[in-house]
A and B are shown apart, each in its own frame.
Chain A
Amino acid sequence: MGSTSPGQTVDLTKLEPVFEKFVDVTKGSLIPVLQAAQDTYGYLPFKALEAIARHLKTPISQIYGVVTFYAQFRLTPRGKHIIRSCQGTACHVRNSARILETLKTTLGVKPGGTTEDLKFTLETVACIGACSLAPVMMVDTDAHGRLRPDRISKILDSYSN
């Protein structure tokens, strides 16, 4: 059910500007508030959800329902860098499966997972529209094309700081 737990220390003052933006407390503001909170923390920490529940006078159970319904919300932290390994048709025929396999073993996480040092989150994507570069992956906003498994390590190293 997500690793969000009550024990975390979360700087709740960061939520103040979010709440200021949504002074008119209405039911309809839950999703924009959650989006803003996620932009702030990179994910939705339990303590932040609790504060949102209090602020919007909405039961935490219902907020949990919304958060788990929409794929856009995350209850676990994301890495500093987001890797999106393309699994579109063009990449597929150029053996993107091997690229993904290499990413998984190098990082030690499955798609959707985040490395323990919170440096990388690995995701898959259906197509990024750069089929001429297949097989391709994005790291944050950078596209890396014509990938070969033996190049992966070096690329990841360039994001090591």
Chain B
Amino acid sequence: MSKNVTLTIDNQTVTVPAGVTIWGAARKLGINIPTLCHHFDVKPYSGCRVCVVEVVGGRALAAACSFPVTDGLVVLTNSPKVREARRLVVELLLANHPHECLTCDRNQNCELQKLALDLGVKEIRFEKAKPTWEIDNTSPSLVRDPNKCVLCGRCVRFCSDKQTCAVYTFANRGYSSIVTPAFGKGLREVACTLCGQCSVICPVGAITVKDDTELVLNAIDDPEKVVIVQTAPSVRVALGEMFGEAPGSIVTGKMVAGLKRLGFDKVLDTNFTADVTIMEEATEFLHRLEANKHMPMITSCSPGWINFMEMFYPELVEHHSSCKSPQQIFGALVKTYYAELEKIDPAKIVSVSIMPCTAKKFECTRPEMHASGFQDVDIVLTTRELGKLLKSCGVDFEGLKPLPYDPVMGIGTGAATIFGNTGGVMEAALRTAYEVVTKKTLPAVEFTQIRGLGGLREAEIDLDGTKIKVAIAHGLGNARQVMELIKAGNPRKWHFIEVMACPGGCISGGGQPITSDINYRAKRIRGLYDDDRHLSLRKSHENPEVQALYKNYLQKPGGELSHKLLHTTYHNPHMDLYT
């Protein structure tokens, strides 16, 4: 298998392992072959024909994204024939694509737009031949505009191969071809977990995040309202990319300053409630471990994952931690504990959260999420929406002077920061569980054995004599494997499992900035681990604001008030969906 082959591309010789595609071999030579349907997260599909190249002696042009190299192959990526074919392909795509670039959500971040520019397409000689489709606005998280769809099938492949949900399919044929949920249903009417990965992998504006920025501006403009914002752990490591920073850059202080500039009354940190989550979840885990009840226990921070579990494995809901997600714990506390402390009428609070996640937009509307007597979180904006909002409000992000969070619910530890990474919630829980169980200080804070990007990672952790088996899954395909193993009687004897709906965890959630950097997940993950390393507080139970919350308000983790405000139940609120 490890055989090497040598070939020639554009008169340059290159040696690559057998099985590599022409596209991959060309990259090694620094030759960019444009692609549209091809994406590093999914298998090649050879549908769009933008990546065609001339294989000398070949019958027709070949799709470089899927053509495996062989010894002695001679390839031309820049011949007149190739240039003409690529331009024609893009011209045909543009003929059927609405010319609404200036008002499109993906303006200046659109792969079709970039292709047209890069390939020098100067005119569109053809008329639109495709029918006009209705825009699907049914989802609380996503908007689907099939008119902008270029039929690249990236969403189809990601949703079925990576997430195993297969929401999308190609339907019909010829000009009537469309990417759609079964029976042309809306996204809300099928078993969509709202993970939003389709909106990240879509090269154009056919799948976008539902825009709630106007709601936020209206709240800020209302003098009667006290608008309080929380920011999720992984937003600080991604927002900078929308302003030209390298992937993995931490922009916490600038983000806080930007939010203040927008006019939020208080800027607080979801990291604070991530720490609270750990207090509750570690306590719950230790109780369940002792009682051997509903084991293994599975984390519940990822609302896409919760939707998945409720839709596909409703019989296993008892395995979930009853802890709400940090967003919802924040929402429940901000309209109770915080309102009391700051003497604000909770009815006047508009609770906004900035999230990496599209499913959070649904989570905040769930009937269980009204523990404060109000809707605990009123509006959820994704990182992408915040970036756009900052731009539209004239905030010079690059020039902002970093500011700290406001007090009381503004301190988070390093354990909370790493919530954004796959494995981070588990590591944070272990840091606290270890010290609670052993009453000793952790010899090494970092549990490096559970870090990484492996789809399903396992480890045995020694809590000073108590050995627990943990597993970490990210991406719903890996989560499904875990659920099947639990259904089969948990043969690997896991005690504690972390699941995140999105591959990589929240750092690459459905609402995060869209990038062409193949290594963006690893870079953002490194960014959050670095951030953790530089913080003086790295264990949730050491957070002084969390200690004050328990001392002055909740009494103890897992106590009566905690259960009322911070815990929830699961069921299937998803109506009669097609799964």
Q: A residues bordering B, Cβ < 8 Å?
A: 1-2, 4, 6, 46, 50, 59-65, 68-69
Q: Please measure, in the bound complex, the distance between the C-alpha atom of A61 and the C-alpha atom of B163, giving whole angstroms.
A: 14
Please determine whether A6 and B171 come into contact, CB atoms closer than 8 angstroms. Answer: no
The smallest C-beta distance from B558 to any residue of chain A, in angstroms, reads 40
Considering the complex, give the chain B residue whose CB is closest to the CB of A71.
B173
Taken residue by residue from 151 to 175, chain B's Cβ proximity to chain A (1 for < 8 Å, 0 otherwise) reads as 0000000001000001111111100
Residues of A within 8 A of B160 (CB): 59, 61-62
Taken residue by residue from 207 to 227, chain B's Cβ proximity to chain A (1 for < 8 Å, 0 otherwise) reads as 000000000000000000000
Please determine whether B173 and A64 come into contact, CB atoms closer than 8 angstroms. Answer: no
Q: Assuming the A-B contacts A2-B183, A69-B172, are A61 and B576 also in contact, with contact meaning beta carbons closer than 8 angstroms in the complex?
A: no
Considering the complex, give the chain B residue whose CB is closest to the CB of A1.
B184
Q: Assuming the A-B contacts A6-B576, A50-B578, are A61 and B173 also in contact, with contact meaning beta carbons closer than 8 angstroms in the complex?
A: no
Residue B412 CB within 8 A of the other chain: no
Residue B181 CB within 8 A of the other chain: yes
Interface SS majority for chain A: helix
Residue in contact with B171 in the complex, picked from A46, A59, A64, CB distance below 8 Å: A64
Considering the complex, give the chain A residue whose CB is closest to the CB of B174.
A69
The smallest C-beta distance from A30 to any residue of chain B, in angstroms, reads 13
Please determine whether A61 and B181 come into contact, CB atoms closer than 8 angstroms. Answer: yes
Residues of A within 8 A of B110 (CB): none
Q: Please measure, in the bound complex, the distance between the C-alpha atom of A4 and the C-alpha atom of B181, giving whole angstroms.
A: 14
Q: Please measure, in the bound complex, the distance between the C-alpha atom of A2 and the C-alpha atom of B176, giving whole angstroms.
A: 14
Residues of B within 8 A of A59 (CB): 160, 166, 169, 182
Residues of A within 8 A of B171 (CB): 1, 64-65, 68-69
Question: Given contacts A50-B578, A61-B160, A61-B169, could you give 19 more A-B pairs where the C-beta distance is less than 8 Å?
Answer: A1-B171, A2-B183, A4-B183, A59-B160, A59-B169, A60-B182, A61-B167, A61-B168, A61-B190, A61-B578, A62-B160, A62-B169, A63-B182, A64-B183, A68-B171, A68-B172, A68-B173, A69-B170, A69-B173
Q: Please measure, in the bound complex, the distance between the C-alpha atom of A1 and the C-alpha atom of B182, giving whole angstroms.
A: 9
The smallest C-beta distance from A63 to any residue of chain B, in angstroms, reads 7
Residue from the set B160, B168, B169 with the largest chain A CB neighbour count within 10 Å: B169
Considering the complex, give the chain B residue whose CB is closest to the CB of A60.
B182
Please determine whether B184 and A60 come into contact, CB atoms closer than 8 angstroms. Answer: no
Q: Please measure, in the bound complex, the distance between the C-alpha atom of A6 and the C-alpha atom of B576, giving whole angstroms.
A: 9
State the interface size on chain B (CB cutoff 8 A): 18
Report 22 cross-chain contacts, Cβ distance below 8 Å, ordered by A residue. Answer: A1-B171, A1-B180, A1-B183, A1-B184, A59-B166, A59-B169, A59-B182, A61-B166, A61-B167, A61-B169, A61-B181, A61-B182, A61-B190, A61-B578, A62-B160, A62-B166, A64-B183, A65-B169, A68-B172, A68-B173, A69-B170, A69-B173
Taken residue by residue from 2 to 22, chain B's Cβ proximity to chain A (1 for < 8 Å, 0 otherwise) reads as 000000000000000000000
The smallest C-beta distance from B177 to any residue of chain A, in angstroms, reads 9
Q: Please measure, in the bound complex, the distance between the C-alpha atom of A59 and the C-alpha atom of B156, giving whole angstroms.
A: 12
Residues of B within 8 A of A65 (CB): 169-171
Report the 3 A-B pairs with minimum CB-CB distance, sorted nearest first: A1-B184, A59-B166, A65-B169
Q: Please measure, in the bound complex, the distance between the C-alpha atom of A65 and the C-alpha atom of B169, giving whole angstroms.
A: 6
Q: Please measure, in the bound complex, the distance between the C-alpha atom of A1 and the C-alpha atom of B189, giving whole angstroms.
A: 14
Residues of A within 8 A of B180 (CB): 1
Q: Assuming the A-B contacts A59-B160, A69-B172, A69-B173, are A64 and B576 also in contact, with contact meaning beta carbons closer than 8 angstroms in the complex?
A: no
Q: Please measure, in the bound complex, the distance between the C-alpha atom of A109 and the C-alpha atom of B576, giving whole angstroms.
A: 33
Q: Please measure, in the bound complex, the distance between the C-alpha atom of A60 and the C-alpha atom of B169, giving whole angstroms.
A: 9
Residues of B within 8 A of A64 (CB): 169, 171, 182-183
Q: Please measure, in the bound complex, the distance between the C-alpha atom of A62 and the C-alpha atom of B578, giving whole angstroms.
A: 12
The smallest C-beta distance from A112 to any residue of chain B, in angstroms, reads 14
The smallest C-beta distance from A64 to any residue of chain B, in angstroms, reads 4
Considering the complex, give the chain B residue whose CB is closest to the CB of A64.
B182
Q: Please measure, in the bound complex, the distance between the C-alpha atom of A68 and the C-alpha atom of B176, giving whole angstroms.
A: 10
Residues of A within 8 A of B578 (CB): 50, 60-61
Q: Please measure, in the bound complex, the distance between the C-alpha atom of A46 and the C-alpha atom of B182, giving whole angstroms.
A: 10
Considering the complex, give the chain B residue whose CB is closest to the CB of A54.
B579
The smallest C-beta distance from B484 to any residue of chain A, in angstroms, reads 12
Residues of B within 8 A of A4 (CB): 183
The smallest C-beta distance from B172 to any residue of chain A, in angstroms, reads 5
The smallest C-beta distance from B114 to any residue of chain A, in angstroms, reads 29
Considering the complex, give the chain B residue whose CB is closest to the CB of A63.
B182
Residues of B within 8 A of A61 (CB): 160, 166-169, 181-182, 190, 578
Residues of A within 8 A of B172 (CB): 68-69
Considering the complex, give the chain A residue whose CB is closest to the CB of B170.
A65
The smallest C-beta distance from A76 to any residue of chain B, in angstroms, reads 12
Q: Please measure, in the bound complex, the distance between the C-alpha atom of A2 and the C-alpha atom of B168, giving whole angstroms.
A: 17
Considering the complex, give the chain A residue whose CB is closest to the CB of B168.
A61
Q: Please measure, in the bound complex, the distance between the C-alpha atom of A146 and the C-alpha atom of B102, giving whole angstroms.
A: 60
Q: Please measure, in the bound complex, the distance between the C-alpha atom of A68 and the C-alpha atom of B169, giving whole angstroms.
A: 11
Q: Please measure, in the bound complex, the distance between the C-alpha atom of A1 and the C-alpha atom of B166, giving whole angstroms.
A: 19
Residues of A within 8 A of B169 (CB): 59, 61-62, 64-65
Residues of A within 8 A of B184 (CB): 1
Q: Please measure, in the bound complex, the distance between the C-alpha atom of A11 and the C-alpha atom of B168, giving whole angstroms.
A: 28
